[in-house]
Amino acid sequence: MDAAFFLLLGASLARYLLRHPGDPRTPWIIGLSITLAVLHVLLYVVGPSRSTTRSTTRTRTRSTTRTNARARSGIHTPHDALRLAAVVAVWAVLVVLAPSFAWCAVPLLYTGLRTLPTRTALALVALLTTFVVTAQIQLSTDGFDPNLVLAPPAVAAVAAGTFVYMQRQAARQRTLIDDLIRTRRELAAIERREGTLAERQRLSMEIHDSLAQGLSSQQMLLQAADRTWDAAPATARRHVRTATSIAERNLAEARRFVHDLAPADLAEAGARGGGLEEALRAVATRENARFHIDGTAPATPLPDRVQSALLRIAQGALANVREHAGATTTALTLTYLDDQIVLDIADDGRGFTPATETPTGVRGHGLPAIRARVHQLGGTLAVESAPGEGTVLSAAIPLEPTP
């Protein structure tokens, strides 16, 4: 726009000087042309308008819908209107003195559309068009020509309509960009919240199935030792030694938990060249439960997360039996099927009504934690129990097909 303005201004001045040599108005024309050029340079080239426009554009990109609504209406600072009014006033005087300067209206038209509210800008377009039509009629030497009256308004209408339409499209695009940015931020916040909740659930299950169960066992053993300390000191010391052993194992679990490593039983079994079966056997022996394997293990080792989950399920289920069931016999069975691996924990304890077990923790965190672990691996959990008839818990984990 700046280049077009100065080109048209220079061409109009050159035309006037060539067509009207020695005209007494020449000094005024030259002076007004220089004044118009200086005003344009001061107000639109080196003035604050450009930096303001760029700043406004950046601000709009980060603005809210309300700010975009103001932008769509073309609202700018009052100084923009004053600057443009000064330039248009000098130009209008030039057109009155020399109609050939009328073509400078083209860049002024776009400047007005860019810097004024839409209605004010359209009024300015009508005013500029009127000056252009009047100047063209004055410059015509062939009498009245309808094109001189109709062409400038038609061109101005097309230009103004196109510019306003593009402004509105740009405003809609800015609104969409703002909505997309806001939506992306909301999705990121939701993902962070979901990640936080998932991590909290994982931590709660890990703590429940390892540290909390160990501390509960220690409490029970120390209470038993306290009751039998005088009457049966040997039994009391055995309880204390067992509690000490559990404390050592809990310490190992805590260290592995901090470093996000595999469960201690699984790591120890792996160090001895064993795996899930040996780790489950160690847990069953520690809890005085029978352990049985049915079927043949797949040739491909189970994923670490499946082994860890099955071990944690066994630890949690056996801890529930110890604390709540009052069972005399407990059996732990690991079954390998073609497409899944099943872990069954059965006891002959007091049982309960499965319908009363809810994820809200009516019966504690044990069963909900087990159910969550099974669900994370895409498996299913079945609980069969009745008051006085014991409990059978069955966790089935699907296996990935062997290629």
Judge whether residue 71 has pLDDT over 50: no
Angle formed by the axes of helices 118-139 and 78-97, nearest 10°? 10
- Interval 220-235 mean pLDDT: 87
Tell me what the pLDDT averaged over the chain comes to.
78
Q: What is the pLDDT of residues 334-382, one digit of tens each?
A: 999 888 899 999 998 888 887 665 433 434 456 887 888 888 888 999 9
Judge whether residue 68 has pLDDT over 60: no
Q: Are strands 340-347 and 330-336 parallel, antiparallel or unpaired?
A: antiparallel
- Terminal C-alpha separation, the chain: 67
Three-state secondary structure of 72-103: HCCCCCHHHHHHHHHHHHHHHHHHHHCHHHHH
Determine the 3-state secondary structure of 300 from DSSP. Answer: coil
Judge whether residue 92 has pLDDT over 50: yes
Q: What is the pLDDT of residues 122-162, one digit of tens each?
A: 888 888 888 888 877 777 766 666 776 787 888 888 888 88
Judge whether residue 59 has pLDDT over 70: no
Q: What is the pLDDT of residues 1-18, one digit of tens each?
A: 788 888 888 888 888 888
335 φ, ψ to 5°? -115, 125
275-403: which CATH architecture? 2-Layer Sandwich (3.30)
Name residue 230's amino acid. D
Q: Are strands 330-336 and 290-294 parallel, antiparallel or unpaired?
A: parallel
CA–CA separation, 157 vs 161, rounded Å? 6
**Domain edges within the chain:** 2-139, 275-403
Please name the residue ranges forming H helices in 21-77.
Answer: 26-40, 48-61, 65-72
**Would the pTM of this model clear 0.85, i.e. be above it?**
no
